[in-house]
Structure formats: C-alpha cells, structure tokens
Amino acid sequence: MAKKKNAKKAAAAPAKPTKKGKAAAAAAKSNAKAAPKSAKAGKAAAAPKKAGKSAKAGKASKPAKAAKPAQKKSKKADPIPKGFATVSAHLVVAGAAKALEFYTKAFGAKSKGKMMTPDGRVAHAEIQIGDSRVMLCDDFPEWNGGVARAASALSATPVTLHLYVKNCDKVFEQAVAAGCQVVMPPMDAFWGDRYGKLKDPFGHEWSVATHTKDMTMKQMEKAMALAMSAPECQPEAAAESASADAPAAS
C-alpha cells in the first residue's frame, strides 16, 4: 500500500528539470527575445533587395535626353511705337525731300529716317519736333486715282499744325527767317495763349503758341465775345486784311 501511495505522489509532482532541460529552456527564451530583432533585421535586409529592383528598373529605362538650350523669346512689339502719340500728323508734300530740310531750319525738326522710291521720291519719312513725331511723304497722284493731294496743289488746307513752345515770338521769327509766310503775327489771344500763325512754302499752315494763362471754357467764351466785338475782328475788316496780305497777281 505504501508503495502505491508513493507512486501516486511521484506521478502528481512535476518532474524536476534536468540540466539539459534547463539549458534548452534558457535557449528558447533567448531565441524568443531575439526573434523581433531578427524580424527587423529581416525587413532591413529586404530593403536592399527592393532598392536593387529599382536599380534594375533604372537600368532598363531609356537614358534621359539632354535638355535643349533655352531659346530667347522675341520681344513683343509695343502697340504704340516708341516716339509716337495716339494721334500723329502725316503730311503729303510736293517735294518732301526739300520739306524735310525746311522743317529742320524753321522748327528745329530732327530726322528720324526716310525711305526713297526708285525714282527718287520720298515714300515715307519721319521727323521729331519737340516731343512729337510727324510723318510725311511725296505726293503720288498715280496711286490716288490721278488726284494730287498736296496742299500746294489744292491752294488751301483745312488743317493747321499747332505747336506749343516755350517762346512763341522766337520760334515765329525763326520760321519766318526760314521762309514761312506770316498769316497772323504773334498776339496775346483771348484764350490765354501768346499765338501766331504761319504758312510754309509747301502750303501747310502752322500755328505757334506759348500758354500764358489758365482759363475755363466759360471764361474763354466771355473773352471771345468781347474780342469779336472789336471793329478789327469784323468780317469786313478781316477780308480787307486778307486781300492786303495776298501776293499781287503777275
């Protein structure tokens, strides 16, 4: 009976680990701790493989083409050319080459270039007077239905070229000395300008003025009414003055 009881106790009691068992358990624990590290190391080791794949892919792709040198974009032209205003005079002149020389003497014009036709006429020319550009060309009746358009051919002009200058009298005298005909000598005009009028040898009329007084439109209107009431401003007197200034018939 005693032997049976001792056998039951031995069966119920856990077996004492042997030295080999203890060593195996310790190894298992160390392996368990090392497992996460090895897993991380495995992931890291896998990365080079992926990098290697991308490197292979790079080798398989076509080499990039060399970049073309950047081309300079052409500068966009200004809608209004330099030197021009919104409105610019364009004169038709019989003898434009001579007119270019004359306007230099009379008004201090500066040439900005010209184009000539094969027969020696001025197709297009530009001059600068103060801050303004003026264009001119010869008369070409053959390009205008046989009709002459120069002011000298028409014996009159409905257009007056108006110059504002610092010294009206000085510029006026210079233009007369160059060969302009006096239409109206300089005077203190009712609208607040020192003003005179000329006619050049090519039939174009020029007014020369220096502003002396700022006035509103109503003030100018009153001043005009007073000025026009003077005897010398009546139509009869103006007609007599014009006939006196007209050149004598040959």
What would the mean pLDDT of 3-22 be, rounded to a whole number? 52
Closest CA to 167 of 190, 189, 186, 191: 186
Give the mean pLDDT of the chain.
81
206-217: per-residue pLDDT in tens? 999 999 999 999
Q: Is 135 helix (H, G, I), strand (E, B) or coil?
A: strand
Closest CA to 164 of 207, 201, 202, 109: 207
> Considering only 9-23, 69-83, 233-247, which range has the smallest mean pLDDT?
9-23
Domains of the chain (ranges, CATH numbers) = 81-154 (3.10.180.10), 157-241 (3.30.720.110)
**pLDDT reported for residue 55:** 47
Q: Is the pLDDT assigned to residue 46 strictly greater than 50?
A: no
End-to-end CA distance of the chain: 178
107-124: per-residue pLDDT in tens? 999 999 999 999 999 999
What would the mean pLDDT of 163-188 be, rounded to a whole number? 98
Per DSSP, 75 falls in state P
For 27, residues 6+ apart whose C-beta sits below 8 A from its C-beta are none
Q: Is the pLDDT assigned to residue 45 strictly greater than 50?
A: no
**pLDDT reported for residue 231:** 81
- Indicate yes or no: pTM above 0.75: no
Per DSSP, 143 falls in state G
pLDDT confidence band for 37 (50 / 70 / 90): low
Closest CA to 103 of 209, 247, 204: 204
What would the mean pLDDT of 187-208 be, rounded to a whole number? 97
Cα gap 170→9, rounded to integer Å: 144
Q: Dihedral sign, CA of 45, 48, 52, 58?
A: positive
Q: Where are the alpha helices (DSSP H) in 108-234?
A: 151-154, 168-178, 217-228
- Read off the tokens for 247: 């050149």
Closest CA to 210 of 176, 166, 174: 166
**pLDDT reported for residue 25:** 60
Three-point CA angle 187, 191, 196, nearest 5°: 30
Q: Is the pLDDT assigned to residue 91 strictly greater than 60?
A: yes
Share above pLDDT 70 across residues of the chain, in percent, rounded to a whole number: 66
**pLDDT reported for residue 163:** 98
Closest CA to 92 of 131, 162, 148: 148
Cα gap 192→210, rounded to integer Å: 9
Long-range CB contacts for residues 119-124, cutoff 8 Å, separation at least 24: 121/96, 122/96, 122/97
Indicate the burial class of 206 (C-beta count within 10 angstroms; 0-12, 13-18, 19 or more): buried
Q: Which residue type is seen at 95?
A: G
Cα gap 137→146, rounded to integer Å: 16
User: Which range has highest mean pLDDT (2-11, 171-180, 238-247)?
Assistant: 171-180
144-159: per-residue pLDDT in tens? 999 999 999 998 899 9
